[in-house]
Structure 1
Amino acid sequence: MEANNNNNSCQSQSQQLEDEDRLSMLTDDILLSILGRVSTRLAATTCVLSTRWRHLPWLLPEVDIDVKDFLSVTRPDPVEANDMEKAMVSLTKAARSFLADHQRGSTISSLHLKLYLINTFLCEVGPLICDAVDSRLLKELDLSVLDETDILDYCEEDMLQRAQEIDAFFSAYPSVPHCLTKLTLYNVGFDKLDMHHVLFDCCNQLKHLILIHSDSGANSLFKIDAPNSNLCVLNIYKCRFEIIEVICLPKLEKFLWSTWVSEYAPVTFGFVPSLGELELSCGSSYDQCEFKLSELLHGVTGLHTLTLDFQGENLWLQPEIEGLFTAFNKLRKLSIRGIFVEFDILWTMAFLVAAPSIEILHIEVWEHSCDIGDTRLDSYPERRTPQWEMRLGGSENRLLKNLEFTGFKSLEQQFTFIRCVLERSPNMQKIVLRGDEQCKYCDALEESPRPSKFPKNKVEQEMVVKQIRHGTFSPEIIFKE
C-alpha cells in the first residue's frame, strides 16, 4: 500500500513538472498575453514560479497598479485612514519596482494608476512617474485619484483642499499632467482655481476625463473652449454645474452626464464635429423643468448613439419631432431607459419618426419597490403620466432590425407598443425580451421575492409570442431573464 502511494506521488509530481515545462516552453509574447489578463499584483507574483517567468512581469506593455488591491483581504468598509496609508506604502513599492530602469525590459505603453491623495506618497510617486516619462520608459498615464468619502458626507473645505493638492502635484511634477491620457477625479472642488486651466491647459494630452462630484462650486457655469484638446470622452457624474457649455472640443466623441442639478438643459454644444455618442441620465427633482432635446443638440450632426435614462422619474423632455430631424439623421442606436412602469410608452414612437435611420432600439421599464412609499426621496415630485399627443406620420423605419425590451411584464400597453413598432418596421428581425434587472436595495426590503410577471415557462412564452406576432409579424422572439 505504501509503495503504491509513493508511486502515485511520484507520478503526480512528474505530471506537474511536465505541465510546467509545457507552459514554460511557450514564447514570451504568449505568456505576456496570459499575464495581461490578470492583475499586475498577481502577475508580479509569477516571477517566483521559475527562472523562466522571472523577467516576464517587467515586460508587460500595460501595467495596472490599483491601491485597492493592496487593502486587507476583507476590504474594510469604510476604509479607514490607517488602511489607506498601509495600502499606499505597498503601492509605492510596486510603482518603484515597475518603473525602475534597471528592471524594465521594455517600454510601458500605458500605466493605469489608482491611488489615494496622500501627500507623503505623492511626493514619492510623482518623481517616479516624471523619471519614467523623461527617460521615455512610460508613454501614457491613466490616473484615478480615489476617495472613500460618501458624497453626502463631504464638506466644501475638503473638496477645495483636494483641488489644491492636485494642482500642487501637477505643478511640482509637470511630466505627470503632460503624459496623462485619462484622469478620474472624486470629490474635488475647483472653486478657487481655474478648472479649465488645470484640466485642459496642463493636461494637454488628455483623451478621457471622468469627474465624479467634482466641479467649480454649486450651480456654477463651466465653459470648455479647447480647440487643441485631444479629449475624446467626457464623463460627468453627480457634479453641481448649472450648465456646461462645450464651446469647442473638436475630438470629443462621447459625452455622458448622470444626475445634474440644472433647472433646464444641463449642457449646450458648439463645435463638436466628432460627437457620436451621447448619454443623459437623471431623475427629475421639484425645480426641474422640461426642455427640448433639439435645443440641447443644436449644432450636433454626427450623433449615432443616444441613451436617455429617466431613472424611474418624470420625463424631463418636451414633446417634439420636427426639431430632431437634423440631429437624428445619422442615429443608429437609441436607448430609452428608466421609464416608470405605470407610464404609457407609446410616446417613444416619436423618436422613431424623427430618426428613420435607427437600427437598434432599446426600451427599459423601471419598477423598483425601493423607491415607493417611505423609501422614496423627498426631493422627487409625484410621478405624472406623460401627456404627449402628436401625429406619428412619416416614413417607415426600414433599417430597424433589433428591439430590446428590458423589464417586460406581459402588460397590454407593452404589447401595444411592440406591435406599433413592428407595424412601422417591416424589416424587424429580432425582439429580445428581458426581465427586471437585479436591485440589491429592492432585495434588502423584500422579505420574500415578488412573483415575477416575466413569462418563464414555455406555455407563457408561446402566449406572448402569439400576442406580439398577431398573425401578421414574424420576427425572432428571444426571452432572457
Structure 2
Amino acid sequence: MAETTTPEHEQEGDDDRLSTLPDDILLLILNKLDLIRDAARTTVLSKRWRHLLGLRSEIVLDVLNFDATHQDDDDLEYTMDDLLRTNASVVEATEILLRQHRRQHTTIQLLDITFYLRDESIGIVRAVDRAMADHRILAAKFTVIPDVPDVYCEDDDVLLAYGRRFMTFFDAYPRAFTGLKDLNLHALRLGESDIANVLSACEKLEYSSLVNCDAGIGDDQLSVLQIEHSRLVELVVIFCGFGTVELKWLPRLTRLTCRNWMPSQDQYPLSIGYVPQLLVLTLSNACTAQHKTIKLTEFLGNTAVAELDLNFLCEKMSYHICYSDEENQTGENTRENFDRAADLLKWETRHDFKHYNMKKLTIKGFQVEAKFTRYIRRVMEAAMNLEVVSLRESHPCLRCEFLPSTVYPRTHKEINLIKKQISAWRSSPIQIEIV
C-alpha cells in the first residue's frame, strides 16, 4: 500500500482543530488575548502559529503583568532578582516582537509598553527607535515607572538618579519619542528645561502625565513647569514638586488635572495662557494656606472651561498635614491650620468678571460652613450659564489614606436647606447634586 503524507498540523495532533484555520482567523484569535505572554504561550502549540505573533496589530507589554511566578500567590515576596528578571523579559519581548514585525513588513496599530526605569530598559527604547525609523508604528505609549515599591519616593538622590537615567535614554534614542502619543513619567527629577524639551520632541503627543516629578528644587524656590505643545489634549500632574504650572500655548488641550502638588508661597500655582479649548479643569489639593486667595481669572480667563472640578481634601483643609512629621501633629495645631485656611476659598476677581462657558461646578470635600457657601455664590455670580452644582463628600488622601471627619449634609433637612440656599442665588433653575 502506498504511504500517504499527513499535513504538518495534523501530525502535531488530530485534536488541534484551530491550526486548520486560515492565518487571518488565527491572527484574530491572538489579537483577542490580553497579554503578550499568553499569546506567546499559544504559539508553542504548533509550528502553524509561530509566525503569527509578529503579526499582531496591537502590542501591550506591561511589566506589572509579566511575572508569572507571583501571579497566583500574593504571599510570595517579590525580590529585586524577580524584578530584574521580569523587566528583562519585557525588554526581550519588545526586541523579538519588533524584529518579527520588521521582517514581515507589518504595521503596528498600537504599541503600549510599561517598564521599569532600569539600565537594561534602554533595549526597549532602542528597539522602538528602530521601528520608528521604518514607520511601522502608528501609535505608541510609554509608561515609565520606578523600580522601588514607593512610587512617591522623596529621596533626592533616587529621584535625581532616575532623572539622569531617563535623559540618557532620551538623548541616545530621541526618535523613539517622536512617535509617542501617550507618555507617562514617574519619580523623576530633571533639569530645568528637560521636561519641556522631552514634550517638545514628542511631536505626536496627545496624552501625558507626570507623577512625583519636578524640574529641580533650589534652596529658596520651587521649579516652574512651562508647557507648550501643538497637539497635547490631556495633561495630568500628580504629587509633583513644581511651584507653578504654566500653560503657555496649548491650542488643543481639553482636560487638565492637577492633584496634590506643593506650590510656592508667593505665586499662584496655575497660570493659563493660550488654552482656548480647555473644557475640564480638575484641581485637587493644589493650594495651601499661604495662598490667601484664588484668582478666578488665573484659572478661567478666556478659556472654554465647561466643568470646574475642585477637591478640598488637602493638607490645610482637612485637619491633615500629610507631608509633615506625624509625631509633631496635635489636635490643636491641625485645628489651627484649618482655621487659617478660611480665606483660601475666596475668589479675588473684578466684580464685573463674567464667564460664559462653565456649565458645571464640582466640589469634593464640601462642608456645611460659610466659607464654602460664599465660594459657591461667587462662582455662580461669575459663571453666567452654570447649570449644575455638584457637592461631594471627602475621599481618603491618595498618599496616606487619611480620611477627615467632615460636616457634610446627610439628613433630608440638611440637604434641602443647602439646596434652597443655593437656588436662591439664581433667578433661573439650577441643578444641585448632593450625593
TM-score range, shorter chain: 0.7 to 0.9
Aligned partner of 1:125 in structure 2 is: 124
Count of residues in Structure 1 that have an aligned counterpart in Structure 2: 383
Unpaired stretches in structure 2, ≥5 consecutive residues: 1-14, 319-340
Match of 1:205? 204
Q: Where do residues 160-175 of structure 1 align in structure 2 (5 Å cutoff)?
A: 160-175=160-175
Aligned position for 2:386: 358
Q: Does 1:159 align with 2:159?
A: yes
Distance 2:370 2:75 in 1: 41
Q: 1:432 to 1:261 in 2, by over 3 A?
A: closer
CA contact (8 A) 1:275 1:303 kept: yes
Q: Is the 8 A contact 1:43 1:57 kept in 2?
A: yes
**Which residue of 1 is the match for residue 194 of structure 2?**
195
Shift of 1:168: 1.2
Which residue in the other structure is 1:183 paired with? 183
- Partner Cα separation in structure 1 for residue 192 and residue 307 of structure 2: 34
Whole-Å Cα distance in 1 between the matches of residues 430 and 47 of structure 2? 58
Partner residue, 2:215: 216
Residue 57 of structure 2: aligned partner: 61
Distance 1:61 1:342, change over 3 A: farther
CA RMSD, 1 decimal: 4.1
1:339 matched to 2:366: yes
The aligned counterpart of 1:303 is: 305
Q: Distance in 1 between matches of 2:368 and 2:82?
A: 43
Alpha-carbon separation, structure 2, partners of 1:223 and 1:370: 22
Alignment of 1:79-118 (within 5 A): 79-100=78-99, 101=101, 106-118=106-118
Letter of the 2:237 partner, please give it: I
CA deviation profile, 1:292-350 (whole Å, cap 9, x unmatched): 34132253321112110101635633146865854x31112322112246778544344
TM-score (norm. length: structure 1): 0.67
Decide whether aligned partners of structure 1 residues 114 and 250 sit closer, same or farther in structure 2, where only a CA change above 3 A counts. same
Alignment of 1:338-417 (within 5 A): 338-340=365-367, 346-347=373-374, 348-366=376-394, 409-410=410-411, 412-417=413-418
Q: Distance in 1 between matches of 2:27 and 2:409?
A: 44
Code of the residue aligned with 1:337 in structure 2: it is K
Q: Percent identity?
A: 22
Give yes or no for contact 2:364–2:393 (8 Å, CA) kept in 1: yes
* AA at the equivalent of 2:359: R
User: Does the CA-based 8 Å contact 2:192-2:216 persist in structure 1?
Assistant: no
Quote the Cα distance in structure 1 between the aligned partners of 2:181 and 2:256. Answer: 16
CA distance in 1, matches of 2:305, 2:154: 36
1:363 Cα deviation after fit: 1.5
Q: Is the 8 A contact 1:345 1:417 kept in 2?
A: no
CA deviations 1:212-242 (Å, max 9, x no partner) are: 111113342325253x532221111111111
**Are positions 1:288 and 2:290 aligned together?**
yes
Q: Sort the Cα spacing of 1:433 and 1:252 in 2 relative to 1 into closer, same or farther, 3 A.
A: closer
Q: Kindly state the Cα deviation for residue 103 of structure 1 after the two structures are TM-superposed.
A: 6.5
Is the 1:237–1:257 contact (alpha carbons within 8 Å) kept by the matching residues of 2? yes
Aligned positions of 1:22-61 closer than 5 A: 28=25, 31=28, 35-36=31-32, 38-47=34-43, 57-61=53-57
What letter is aligned with 1:235? V
Matches within 5 A, 1:9-28: 28=25
Seen in structure 2, the aligned counterparts of structure 1 residues 78 and 142 have a Cα distance that, compared at 3 Å, is farther
* Worse-matched range after superposition: 40-49 or 231-240: 40-49
CA distance in 2, matches of 1:254, 1:319: 22
Q: In structure 2, do the counterparts of structure 1 residues 240 and 283 end up closer, same or farther at CA, with 3 Å as the change threshold?
A: closer
Aligned equivalent of 1:260: 261
* Separation in structure 2 between the aligned mates of residue 213 and residue 426 of structure 1, nearest angstrom: 43
* Contact 1:223–1:247, Cα closer than 8 Å, also in 2: no
Write the distance in 2 (CA, Å) between the matches of 1:291 and 1:46.
Answer: 60
SS at match of 1:339: coil
Structure 1 residues 309 and 196: CA distance shift in structure 2, 3 A:
same
AA paired with 1:417? I
| Residue in structure 1 matched with residue 231 of structure 2 by the alignment | 230
Partner Cα separation in structure 1 for residue 35 and residue 85 of structure 2: 19
Per-residue deviation, residues 362-395 of structure 1 (Å, max 9, x unmatched): 2202277999xxx979xx9xx999xxxxxxxxxx
CA change 1:94–1:251 in 2 (3 A) is same
Task: Go from structure 1 to structure 2 and tell me whether the alpha carbon gap of 1:117 and 1:408 turns closer, same or farther (over 3 Å shift).
Answer: same
| Distance apart, 1:211 and its partner CA | 0.8
The change in CA–CA distance for 1:96 and 1:355 in structure 2 (over 3 A counts) is same
CA distance in 1, matches of 2:356, 2:37: 47
C-alpha displacement of 1:88: 1.1
- The CA distance in 1 between the partners of 2:347 and 2:194, in whole Å, is 36
Structure 1 residues 432 and 61: CA distance shift in structure 2, 3 A: farther
Structure 2: distance between partners of 1:368 and 1:171: 40
- For 2:256 and 2:187, how far apart are their aligned partners in 1? 20
Moved more, 54-63 or 275-284: 54-63
